[in-house]
Amino acid sequence: MATKLPAAQARLYHNMFVCKHCKAKLRADPKKIIEGKIRCRKCLKKVFRPVRKK
């Protein structure tokens, strides 16, 4: 996969978060994540981290 294009990066990672509990990815407004308004649709937990954290 040669996806280093900025547009592709933005599409894949912009506003994307990963559930710390079950690793499900979802796209959401960071503000809502911080405010705790977003729940994982799989496990219903509210703990997320941004994607691409190395």
Q: Which residues bind Zn ion (CB under 5 A)?
A: 19, 21-22, 24, 40, 42-43
Q: Is 19 exposed, middle or buried (0-12, 13-18, 19+ CB in 10 A)?
A: buried
Q: How far is the CB of 41 from Zn ion (least distance, A)?
A: 8
Question: CB of residue 28 vs Zn ion: minimum separation in angstroms?
Answer: 13
Residue 19 or 38: the one with the smaller Cβ distance to Zn ion is: 19
Give least dist CB 43 to Zn ion, A: 3
